[in-house]
């Protein structure tokens, strides 16, 4: 494999993506805000704390069970703002269209994008369209950027995990990745599973109403829960201990992963949030999550420890331990 060219691995959100950022982007672009490498940047303007983020969507297929590239482009960006505790307000949308895209498909995607924005309470306030010749893109790619306001007193960042924090998740892992793969050409398996793609800002607002001791929030998208937890362990210089018996996975995801040779811990989610909460507030935050439609299956999956800083360790169901590393290699190209 050529090492001097971009590989699919570089887009997988795991180790190769991090290496690419460190080699090609950070040296040229770095500043204190970018260097934090959080889901959204946080900036203070005239006393107002703004969150800003951007993301591009290249999912294949463009329509999948539980969503499409239009709703995904809203949810992903709204969620990255929510992961700073921000109230998402405004989005920009850039469309890159391939010559030959069926107009009815574009209209369906735009309707879905608009419905997702209404549901999340955000407005698309600026947009752009480009068309490239047939074969120079795959039907449609979408970029969205978003801005929101971080309420006073909310300080959530990947750097803020501390020993003792409980690690919570709002439901089972891997639904999005498996739902998208189930419709991919060349991979034929049947599942009733739908993507978990959803806007998390309402759930996060409810959680913040229950506790100001929420230290970290992260949506485990590409690279899955395992990669997100490794990022947080490194950013906060803490260890994370997971209990295998507590990791929530639907039977349909377990079955699909076994067939495809995947691990649910590494499969993408688009409606999940990992929350690091001070131990004294963990139960009240879990209760609030459990009474929200997007958190009915919320549970605690582990805790932050002083041991093994920068590493995530899994206590297995048979009583052993193993290190859970970041995703390495390309597991699922074009999953989001
Ligand atoms: Mg994110």
pLDDT in tens, 223-252: 999 999 999 999 999 999 999 999 999 999
Structure tokens at 35: 């260097």
CA 99 to centroid of ligand 1, rounded, Å: 31
Instruction: Tell me what pLDDT residue 329 has.
Output: 76
> How many beta carbons lie within 10 A of that of residue 305, not counting itself?
17
Surface-to-core class of residue 209, CB atoms within 10 Å of its CB (0-12 exposed, 13-18 middle, 19+ buried): exposed
> How many beta carbons lie within 10 A of that of residue 27, not counting itself?
9
Per the listing, tokens 């201990």 go with 241
CA 267 to centroid of ligand 1, rounded, Å: 14
Q: 0.85 cut: is pTM over it?
A: yes
Element counts in the chain: helices (H) and strands (E)? 9, 14
CA 227 to centroid of ligand 1, rounded, Å: 11
CA 318 to centroid of ligand 1, rounded, Å: 32
CA 84 to centroid of ligand 1, rounded, Å: 10
- Class for domain 8-149, per CATH? alpha beta
Instruction: Tell me what pLDDT residue 56 has.
Output: 97
CA 134 to centroid of ligand 1, rounded, Å: 31
76-110 pLDDT per residue, tens: 999 999 999 999 999 999 999 999 999 999 999 99
Phi, psi angles (nearest 5°) of residue 301: -120, -10
Give the span between the Cα atoms of 45 and 179, in whole angstroms: 41
- Class for domain 166-324, per CATH? alpha beta
CA 39 to centroid of ligand 1, rounded, Å: 5
CB 12 within 8 A of CB 330: yes
Q: Is residue 89 classed as helix, strand or coil in its secondary structure?
A: strand
Which are the contacts of 3, defined by CB distance < 8 A and separation ≥ 6?
none
CA 217 to centroid of ligand 1, rounded, Å: 9
Q: Where are the domains of the chain?
A: 8-149, 166-324
């Amino acid at each position: 494999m050529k090492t001097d060219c971009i590989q699919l691995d570089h887009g997988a959100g795991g180790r190769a993506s991090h290496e690419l950022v460190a080699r090609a982007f950070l040296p040229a672009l770095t500043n204190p805000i970018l260097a934090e490498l959080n889901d959204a940047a946080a900036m203070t303007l005239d006393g107002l704390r703004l969150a800003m983020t951007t993301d591009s969507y290249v999912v294949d297929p463009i329509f999948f069970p539980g969503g499409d590239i239009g709703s995904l482009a809203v949810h992903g960006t709204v969620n990255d703002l929510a992961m700073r505790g921000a109230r998402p307000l405004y989005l920009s949308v850039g469309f890159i269209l391939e010559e030959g895209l069926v107009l009815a498909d574009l209209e369906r995607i735009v309707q879905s994008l608009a419905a997702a924005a209404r549901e999340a309470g955000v407005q698309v306030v600026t947009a752009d369209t480009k068309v490239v010749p047939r074969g120079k893109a795959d039907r449609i790619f979408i970029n969205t950027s978003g801005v929101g306001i971080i309420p006073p007193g909310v300080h959530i960042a990947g750097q803020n995990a501390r020993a003792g924090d409980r690690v919570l998740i709002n439901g089972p892992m891997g639904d999005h990745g498996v739902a998208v793969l189930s419709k991919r050409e060349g991979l034929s398996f049947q599942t009733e599973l739908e993507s978990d793609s959803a806007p998390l800002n309402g759930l996060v607002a409810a959680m913040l109403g229950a506790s100001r001791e929420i230290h970290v929030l992260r949506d485990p998208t590409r690279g899955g829960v395992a990669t997100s937890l490794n990022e947080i362990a490194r950013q906060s210089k803490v260890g994370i201990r997971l209990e295998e018996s507590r990791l929530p996975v639907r039977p349909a995801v377990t079955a699909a992963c076994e067939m495809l040779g995947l691990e649910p811990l590494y499969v993408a989610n688009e409606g999940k949030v990992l929350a690091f909460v001070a131990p004294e507030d963990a139960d009240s935050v879990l209760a609030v999550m459990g009474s929200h439609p997007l958190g009915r299956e919320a549970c605690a999956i582990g805790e932050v420890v002083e041991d093994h800083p920068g590493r995530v360790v899994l206590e297995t169901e048979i009583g052993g331990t193993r290190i859970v590393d970041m995703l390495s290699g390309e597991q699922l190209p074009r999953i989001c």
